[in-house]
Structure formats: structure tokens, C-alpha cells
Structure 1
Amino acid sequence: MNTAARTTAKKETIWTTFGITTMALMTTMLIVSTYIKIPLPFSTASITAQTLVVNLIGMLFAPLQIVAIMASWILLSVLGIGGSLGKLLGPAGGYRYGNAVAAILISLFCRKVKNLKAQTAFLIFVGIPVIYLFGAVQMKVVTNQPWPAIMVQAVIPFIPLDVVKCFVAAGLAKILRRVVPQF
């Protein structure tokens, strides 16, 4: 099979009933992960399960699928399911956009590099910083606080648990790749 035919075949398999169902399940997991949170008294951002789910999505799905999952999640947030327009535009809203960008970058990397240890390192050293970048920039723009205060509120307290979530996502991805076809 030539390269063009393989590309066409892969694009067609993305939009199967099973593919769409798994995308809907991951969108639902993102919404649920929004409610699994630990509020921080010194920040408008909370520790959530979102980074775990975002990393998992990036490791399991193709970039086009991720665009559909993230767009659905953000649209549902605007409609009040798992968030609101105010939250998307508020101090912690940048994390959602960072999640979308990070998931796509993770997907692109995981399609090229199949080594699980390298993928896990990518989650930690590229995916998480991308999420923090978007979150910190939006918090800075919305609150107009100095950068040291933003770092304390939007980045530093999240690092330890986010690293753990990267390892958990990699472990889950290893198991789920047996069930979820790689697109």
C-alpha cells in the first residue's frame, strides 16, 4: 500500500463508530476531571485531574481526534457543562487552551517516538510546561499581578502532582493501547 493510500485509510479509521465513541468517552472524562479538584487557598486555579486525562488523550489519539475532543470540551464548557464562559475567560481559563495545545504536541511526538520512557519524559518536560505557559499568561493578563505572584499561583504548587499524573497517564496509556486502536 502506498503512502497516500495508508494516509487515507488512517483518516477513515479515525471516524469509525468505535473511534467516535472513544472520543466521546474521553470528552466525558475531561468534563468529569474538571470536578475532581483540590482548591488552593492562595490561587484561583485548583489542582485537578485534567492534566492526567489530557496526557492520556495525547498519548492515545491522533491530532485530528484531539481537536474534536478539545473543541467539544471547550464548547460544552461554554454551554455550562464542566465549566462556563466566565471560567474560560477567567484567570484559570488559559489552562484549558494549554491542555489542547499540549495534547496535540504529545500526540505528534508519540506517533514518531514509540519508547514509553521518552514519551513520559516528553509529557513532563514539554506537555506540562506548555499547559503552565498558557495558564500563567492568561492569569497574568486577567489579574495583572507581577510574575512572581503568578508563578506561585499558577505554576509552582502544581509541579509535583502533575509529574505524578504524567507517570500515571503513561502507565494507563500502555494498558489502553491494547484496547484503543492507534490512529
Structure 2
Amino acid sequence: MDTARQSTHVVQLTKIALCIALLCVSSYIAIPLPFTSVVLTAQTLVVNVVALILTPVQSACAVGLYILLGIFGLPVFAGATSGIGRIIGPTGGFIVGFLVAAPVISAIKGKRIQWLRYCLVTIAVGIPIIDFFGTAFMCWFQKMGILEAVIAAVLPFLLGDIIKCVVASYLGIVLNKVLNPYRGERS
């Protein structure tokens, strides 16, 4: 393997590792709410940033490895928790949703770095994917109806999720320009 190719691989692996670290840190920014078992975190923001700055495969790897770290005992889930019980539980659907949403967002974000497109993709695609899995797990594990789960796990967070998507879109633009300075308007 030539030096330029090795350098590219090192850069890509470093980006993935930094994204995993950001995902871990984002779960520590957690605010429990008295009316729901869902905790308000910065994870949605970071998952969207990861999707906007990495390729679909890279974003799936970053989120997947983050989840594995938590499953194997590192306290990287909301509230400094870990273990398979966090995935196979009422709020685990949101974490599963991160794994599905990140590569999907990354795949359809387009090649051009555009704030409006990033906002639309994260809001219209990312939020529904994450909320679908979150709602499904809440229904299953809490024995809730769909409407009850949506009221408990989606509606209270919707405005905040939209704001996080707007911020993530801005950060995605800034980071793409910094991380890919020689690729112009491409990510």
C-alpha cells in the first residue's frame, strides 16, 4: 500500500474514532425528565453530525462500535449506563434507531455541502427513523399503545430534536469544510 493511501486510511479511521468519542461524551449530557423514562441527551445532535461528516459505511461503523462499547460494559449510554439491558429495554429503540438513521442520512445527504439539504434530511428522515424505533421499543417493553408511546417518547422532544438537527447541520457544514479542505464543496 502506498503512503498516500495509508494516510487516507489513517485519516478515515481517526474521523471514525473521534465520532465514537463524541457519541460517548454526548450521552453524558443527559437531563432526566419527570414525565417520561426517556432522557434528554445530546446524542441525537451527535448522531446527525456523524451522519453528515462520514460516509454511510463509516457512520454505521462509528455508531455500531459505540453501541458495542456500551453493550460490553463501558458506561457510554445516557446516564453513564451500559449493558445489553439498555438496548433491550424501553429506551433501547432510540439507540437502535441511531444505528439505522446514521447511514441512511449519510447516504441521502448528497455530495454538495448544503445547510438546507442537511436540515431537511436530518429532520425529515433522521428524526422519523429514530422515533420509529424508540416508539416501537416503548410500545413493546412498556406495554403501551402507539399513541401513548408517541406522547411519552416523541412529542415532548420534537422541538428539541428539530433544533438539534439545525445545529447538527451547521456543524456538519463547518466540519466537512475543515476535515475535507481539498474536496471543495464535497463531503
- Fold match by TM threshold 0.5: yes
Unaligned segments of structure 1, at least 5 residues: 1-11
Alignment CA distance shift 1:61-1:86 (3 Å): same
Counterpart pick for 1:40 among 21, 27, 33: 33
Q: Residues 36-62 of structure 1: CA distance to partner in whole angstroms, max 9, x if unpaired?
A: 111111211111100100100111100
Counterpart pick for 2:54 among 53, 61, 76: 61
* Aligned sequence identity (%): 35
Structure 2 partner of 1:145: 144
Q: Residues 78-134 of structure 1: CA distance to partner in whole angstroms, max 9, x if unpaired?
A: 012213211111100010111111111110111356432022111111110110000
Number of corresponding residues = 172
**SS of residue paired to 2:40:** strand
Normalised by the length of structure 2, the TM-score is 0.86
Distance 1:96 1:171 in 2: 23
RMSD: 1.8
Structure 2 partner of 1:7: none
Normalised by the length of structure 1, the TM-score is 0.87
Alignment CA distance shift 1:78-1:173 (3 Å): same
The runs of at least 4 consecutive aligned structure 1 residues that moved more than 4 Å come to 12-15
Unaligned segments of structure 2, at least 5 residues: 77-81, 181-185
Aligned residues of 2:20 and 2:62 also touching (Cα < 8 A) = yes
Structure 2 partner of 1:163: 162
Distance 2:8 2:106 in 1: 17
- Where does 1:1-183 land on structure 2 (aligned, <5 Å)? 16-81=9-74, 82=76, 83-112=82-111, 114-181=113-180
